[in-house]
Amino acid sequence: MLPLEADVSDPVAAAIGLSGVAAWMALSWRGALQPGETVLVLGGGGVVGQAGIGAARALGAGRIVAVARSEEARRRAGDAGAHVVVPFDGDVDELTARLEAATQGGADVVLDPVFGIAATAASRVLTHGGRLVNLGGAAGDEARFSSAVLRGRSASVLGYTNNALTREQRREALTAVLDLAASGALGVAHETRPLAEVGVAWLRQADGRATTRLVLLP
């Protein structure tokens, strides 16, 4: 149990939650994001993606490019603060070309909660010393990486899980993201529903009709 001291409402804190912790730590700790670097956020319209965009801005990223599939998801990524939002469609070569153009020289850090062909395309635009941090597989459990690209650029593919955090790391990360939320610098789209609708909410989530995070209120 961790105390929540930031001046945010319970629904906002619940919507951000551990997804915000994951985004913050994947960028700051595993990805070692430095001020001025370019960040590529895959799944930018999702909860981790939106939180990651806000975290990247707070950590001093010079350019933030997001990738999202639907028009609504692209809007959420733009509202979260991405400088450019790239559509996720077509094949891996088409996506790679879009990412090359959008990043204007490559991505220093990739926040990847989706994997699959999006991660393959992202790996191709890593800069020298670039880091791709994977923390999910929403688009598939496999991706293909070029040994020549990774070796030639001294790039890294890193895994991340909140389970690896100490209690103190988790506390510091949650405090950081909720403080950003309180200042308006970080947020995720969410919808509140009464707890009595838990069954309906579960079905909406399961069949993909929930386009934002659902927060149940007792």
Predicted confidence (pLDDT) per residue in 15-30, tens digit: 999 999 999 999 999 9
pLDDT of 216 above 90: no
Is the residue at 126 inside a domain? yes
Judgement on whether residues 120 and 210 belong to the same structural domain of the protein: no
Predicted confidence (pLDDT) per residue in 61-92, tens digit: 999 999 999 999 999 999 999 999 999 988 99
What's the pLDDT at 65?
Answer: 98
Judgement on whether residues 91 and 135 belong to the same structural domain of the protein: yes
Average pLDDT over residues 109-129: 98
What's the pLDDT at 113?
Answer: 97
Judgement on whether residues 157 and 60 belong to the same structural domain of the protein: yes
Judgement on whether residues 140 and 209 belong to the same structural domain of the protein: no
pLDDT of 59 above 70: yes
Domain that holds residue 199: 188-218
Give the residue with greater pLDDT, 46 vs 2: 46
Q: Which of 2-6, 64-68, 76-80, 145-149 has the lowest mean pLDDT?
A: 2-6
pLDDT of 202 above 90: no
Give the residue with greater pLDDT, 10 vs 39: 39
Is the residue at 142 inside a domain? yes
Judgement on whether residues 160 and 200 belong to the same structural domain of the protein: no
> Model pTM greater than 0.85?
yes
Count CB atoms within 10 A of the CB of residue 97: 14
CA 96 to chain centre: 19
Domain count, the chain: 2
Rounded to whole angstroms, how far apart are CA atoms 51 and 60? 14
Is the residue at 173 inside a domain? no
Judgement on whether residues 205 and 109 belong to the same structural domain of the protein: no
Judgement on whether residues 83 and 147 belong to the same structural domain of the protein: yes
Average pLDDT over residues 102-121: 97
pLDDT of 1 above 70: no
Is the residue at 181 inside a domain? no
Virtual torsion, Cα 190, 59, 26, 119, nearest 10 deg? 80
Here the CATH number for the domain that contains residue 93 is 3.40.50.720
Average pLDDT over residues 148-160: 97
Rounded to whole angstroms, how far apart are CA atoms 162 and 205? 22
Is the residue at 175 inside a domain? no
Q: Which residues of 164-187 are buried (b: 16+ CB within 10 A; e: fewer)?
A: ebeeeeeebbbbbbbbbbbeeebb
What's the pLDDT at 166?
Answer: 96
Taking all residues of the chain, what is their mean pLDDT, rounded to a whole number?
A: 94
Q: Residue for token digits 């490559």? A: 106
Judgement on whether residues 33 and 98 belong to the same structural domain of the protein: yes
Gyration radius (Cα) of the chain, Å: 17
Is the residue at 120 inside a domain? yes
Rounded to whole angstroms, how far apart are CA atoms 38 and 170? 25
Is the residue at 216 inside a domain? yes
Judgement on whether residues 201 and 97 belong to the same structural domain of the protein: no
